[in-house]
């Protein structure tokens, strides 16, 4: 972009050079947009995983309460805390199931979105790597390879 700014003030710049810079700008602007979309496609997945973490932590807390009640029931040989521990065990299983279902409902579309964004980025990179326009531009600037050889020898 700095080179384009410099060229803007020069009147005698070859149209091919201007066109080449504009093409480079368009290529990299498209690549930046696609890579940004790919990075942003992870946000729903991250949010779903954080929400799942909270749900599973709740289930763990419920299970711990059930274990404590079960221990008390065994120590005191009482049925009421034992039944309460069984209820907490069932609540824990229900919490795990609800968290899993909710997470899976959010994760699947997010994963599909990530895969599409990744495929779009890889396709763009493949187009850029298969294009020989960079090599043609360098060959036009250094047809006898003197500059490239000098750079390699340093």
| pLDDT, tens digit, 9 for 90 and up, residues 24-74 | 788 888 999 999 999 999 999 999 999 999 999 999 999 999 999 999 999
How far apart (Å, rounded) are the C-alpha atoms in residues 7 and 2?
9
Confidence (pTM): 0.64
pLDDT confidence bin for 4, thresholds 50/70/90: low
CA gyration radius for the chain? 31
Q: Distance between the two ends of the chain, CA-based, in angstroms?
A: 27
Examine the pLDDT at 152 and tell me if it is beyond 90.
no
How far apart (Å, rounded) are the C-alpha atoms in residues 10 and 112?
48
How far apart (Å, rounded) are the C-alpha atoms in residues 103 and 96?
10
pLDDT tens sequence across 89-123: 999 999 999 999 999 999 999 999 999 999 999 99
How many Cβ atoms are within 10 Å of 26's Cβ, its own excluded? Answer: 10
């Amino acid at each position: 972009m700095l080179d384009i700014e410099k060229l803007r003030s020069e009147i005698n710049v070859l149209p091919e050079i201007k066109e080449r810079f504009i093409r480079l700008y368009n290529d990299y602007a498209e690549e930046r947009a696609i890579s940004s979309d790919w990075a942003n496609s992870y946000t729903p997945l991250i949010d779903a995983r954080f929400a799942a973490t909270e749900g599973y932590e709740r289930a763990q807390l419920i299970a711990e309460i059930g274990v404590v009640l079960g221990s008390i029931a065994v120590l005191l040989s009482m049925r009421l805390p034992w039944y309460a521990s069984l209820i907490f065990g069932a609540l824990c299983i229900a919490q795990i199931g609800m968290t899993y279902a909710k997470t899976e409902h959010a994760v699947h579309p997010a994963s599909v979105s990530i895969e599409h964004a990744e495929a779009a980025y890889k396709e763009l990179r493949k187009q850029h790597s298969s294009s020989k326009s960079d090599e043609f531009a360098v060959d036009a600037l250094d047809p006898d390879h003197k500059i490239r050889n000098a750079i390699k020898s340093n």
